[in-house]
């Protein structure tokens, strides 16, 4: 992925079930979280935070969050400072968050977890979530105009959730969290995987009714641990990993685990882009391997290859998320997959953020002239969103690498619509494919005329995509269990459908780039 689109965040949680449930030290839930957050930092690098519960402290819930990477926020490079910080945060329950956002990026007040302090312990809670509220405007207006709430950050989904949870609690007993989440499930349109801890000692972890964002859990000695991706649990030592079901709440209180299906009336709508790009390649999401899905996509794309392959052809995957697809593409065609582009893994995000795109490409990648010179390159990437950075990369490969031909192959269908569920691509005008295509590419290759126009725009010799009808088989899930909205324009929720109609109308009328949704 060259266009730098981001997912909104990742969440983790751990709760001590007690010594009768296995080995491990008491009040060590917090110590499990920094390494788990590191494993899912692909989901966000702008801020991180942890809230812990410790009934032995006067300040029962304690939150630490800052702008920066997980290592920076939790002082992981300073052994003594990191140890002191984790000791201050020690507790039997802990939730953690790593964040990316298009909203309030440089303001620590937008970082999560978000804590609500209250004198009654079951109303004192802290929570974090991954996703986006598609009906934000309506819910924010209802809060402010009808319920009399004051929104300090009107563009913040996190604050929206906080107020609605607090409002529902006014009507419920402390232990009746199932009812709270049933109402949230009916009220909130969009994607949300959430972890919440109360001052009363409850841990609540829930996944939205469509299961758009991933969430899983497993046992680690005396602890029950949760994460947005399985890689965090696997690396911690968890053996059996289970996905939280769409519309499911896992409620842990005093060592007892209670599971509640708070919403049953929606089909799963798992975000297919998790398998294409966002998730760590070693993760397994909803029982489907991310690596295997990407391998299958590359193989399916190769089987449709229109170019006559010669001894001068090589495959160069764009590092790193395209490697599995690129290797499969090469293997299927019987040609070498070569690391013709080397990624600089030690350059910081902020170091290149202020530079122009051409400079960013050269900072981020090194083209190996000895590998690329005189070759016909299949440049395999996982997707094209805006195309601007890809165009600079192609120029760089021609100039520095001296490749004779560059054929772009995308192991994903053309991105045809914005995402309103937590991916940073929320306007029509910024997208590359709709400039050339009137409708989604359901099956088969791009028409030669369209491919030629696209290729000319980015300086390539040709462009081809994986069609939509190959996706479900590559991932291994039924097509009606996937959210494919950004490639087929069929949004799984009413608010998403309405937002797309508005964005398309604005774009058609030439009023800017369409509707950009601010997300948290």
Q: What is the DSSP string of 102-149?
A: SSSTT-GGGSS-EEE--SSGGG-EEEEEEEEETTHHHHHHIIIIIS--
Give DSSP secondary structure letters for 3-51. Answer: S---B-EEEEEEEE--GGG-SS-TTBHHHHHHHHHHHTGGG--SEEEEE
- Confidence (pLDDT) at 351: 47
Query: What ranges in 245-342 are assigned the alpha helix state H?
Result: 273, 290-303, 323-333
| CA–CA dist 477, 157 (Å, integer) | 30
* Residue-level pLDDT at 362: 86
Task: For the chain, give the longest Cα–Cα distance.
Answer: 73
- Cα 288 to its chain centre, rounded Å, is 16
Query: Which one of the listed residues 9, 216, 419, 486 is annotated catalytic?
Result: 9
Q: How far, CA to CA in Å, does 180 sit from each of 114, 196, 261?
A: 18, 12, 12
What is the C-alpha separation between 436 and 242, in angstroms, rounded?
A: 42
pLDDT at 426: 62
The two three-digit tokens of residue 273, written as one number: 């882009």
Two tokens at 312? 């001068």
Structure tokens given for 337: 């997959």
Neighbours of 444 (CB within 10 A): 9
**What is the three-state SS of 428-482?**
CCCCCHHHCCCCCCCCCCCCHHHHHHHHHHHCCCEEEECCHHHHHHHHCCCHHHE
CATH assignment of 293-474+486-508?
3.40.50.2020
Q: Six-digit token pair at 316?
A: 């160069």
Find tokens 């920076």 and name the residue: 72
Residue found under tokens 């295509």:
437
In the chain, where does the domain assigned CATH 3.60.20.10 lie?
9-266
Distance CA 33, CA 42 (A): 15
CATH code 3.40.50.2020 region(s) in the chain: 293-474+486-508
The span from the CA of 403 to the CA of 406, in Å, is: 7
Fold of 9-266: 3.60.20
Could you read off the pLDDT tens digit of each residue along the chain, which spans 520 residues?
566 555 569 999 999 999 988 888 888 899 999 999 999 999 988 999 999 999 999 999 999 999 999 999 999 999 999 999 999 999 999 999 998 865 545 688 889 999 999 998 989 999 999 999 999 999 999 999 998 889 998 889 999 999 999 988 776 665 689 999 999 999 999 999 999 999 999 999 999 999 999 999 999 999 999 999 999 999 999 999 999 999 999 999 999 999 999 998 789 999 999 999 999 999 999 999 999 999 999 999 999 999 999 999 999 999 989 999 999 999 999 999 999 999 887 765 544 455 677 888 888 899 999 999 999 999 999 999 999 889 999 999 999 999 999 999 999 999 999 999 988 776 888 899 999 999 999 999 999 999 999 999 999 999 999 999 999 999 999 999 999 999 999 999 999 999 999 999 988 877 645 444 443 3
- What is the model's pLDDT at position 518? 40
CB 1 within 8 A of CB 393: no
**What pTM was computed for the model?**
0.93
| Residue 447, number of CB atoms within 10 A of its CB | 12
Query: Is 474 known to be catalytic?
Result: no
Paired tokens of 158: 């996190």
Helix-helix angle 290-303:323-333, to 10 degrees = 40
| Whole-number Å distance between alpha carbons of 11 and 216 | 10
195 three-state secondary structure: strand
């Amino acid at each position: 992925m060259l266009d730098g689109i981001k997912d909104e965040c990742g969440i983790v949680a751990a709760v001590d079930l007690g010594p009768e449930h296995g080995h491990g030290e008491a009040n060590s839930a917090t110590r499990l979280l920094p390494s788990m957050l590191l494993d899912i930092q692909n989901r966000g690098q702008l801020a991180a935070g942890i809230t812990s519960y410790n009934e032995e402290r006067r300040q029962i819930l304690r939150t630490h969050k800052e702008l920066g990477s997980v290592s920076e926020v939790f002082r992981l490079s300073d052994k003594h400072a990191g140890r002191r910080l984790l000791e201050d945060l020690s507790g039997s329950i802990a939730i953690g968050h790593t964040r990316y956002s298009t909203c309030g990026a440089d303001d620590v007040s937008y970082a999560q977890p978000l804590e609500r302090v209250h004198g009654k312990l079951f109303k004192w809670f802290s929570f974090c979530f991954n996703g986006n509220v598609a009906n934000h405007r309506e819910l924010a207006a209802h809060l402010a105009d009808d319920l009399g709430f004051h929104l300090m950050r009107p563009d913040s989904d996190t604050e929206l959730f906080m107020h609605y949870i607090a409002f529902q609690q006014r009507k419920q007993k402390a232990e009746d969290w199932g009812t709270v989440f049933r109402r949230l499930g009916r009220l909130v349109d969009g994607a949300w995987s959430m972890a919440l801890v109360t001052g009363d000692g409850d841990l609540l972890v829930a996944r939205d009714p469509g299961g758009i964002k991933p969430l899983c859990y497993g046992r680690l000695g005396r602890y029950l641990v949760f994460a947005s991706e399985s890689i965090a649990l696997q690396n911690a030592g968890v053996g059996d990993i289970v996905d939280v079901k769409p519309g499911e709440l896992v409620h842990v209180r005093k060592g007892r685990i209670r599971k509640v299906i708070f919403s049953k009336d929606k089909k799963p709508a798992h975000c297919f882009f998790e398998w294409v790009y966002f998730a760590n390649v070693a993760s397994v999401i909803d029982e489907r391997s991310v690596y295997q899905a990407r391998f299958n996509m590359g193989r399916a794309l190769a089987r449709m290859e229109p170019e006559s392959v010669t001894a001068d052809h090589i495959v160069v995957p764009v590092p790193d998320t395209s490697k599995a697809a690129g290797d499969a593409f090469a293997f299927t065609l019987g040609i070498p997959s070569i690391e013709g582009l080397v990624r600089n893994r030690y350059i910081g995000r902020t170091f290149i953020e202020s530079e122009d795109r051409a400079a960013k490409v050269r900072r981020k990648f090194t083209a190996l002239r000895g590998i690329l010179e005189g070759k016909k390159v299949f440049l395999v990437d996982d997707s094209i969103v805006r195309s601007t950075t890809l165009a600079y990369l192609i120029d760089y490969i021609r100039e520095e690498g001296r490749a004779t031909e560059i054929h772009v192959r995308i192991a994903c269908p053309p991105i045809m619509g914005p995402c309103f569920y937590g991916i940073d691509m929320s306007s029509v005008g910024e997208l590359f494919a709709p400039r050339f295509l009137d409708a989604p590419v359901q099956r088969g290759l791009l028409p030669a005329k369209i491919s030629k126009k696209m290729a000319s725009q980015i300086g390539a010799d040709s462009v081809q995509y994986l069609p939509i009808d190959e996706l479900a088989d590559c991932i291994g899930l039924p097509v009606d269990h996937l959210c494919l909205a950004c490639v087929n324009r069929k949004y799984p929720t009413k608010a998403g459908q309405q937002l797309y109609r508005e964005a398309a109308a604005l774009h058609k009328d030439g009023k800017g780039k369409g509707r950009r949704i601010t997300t948290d």
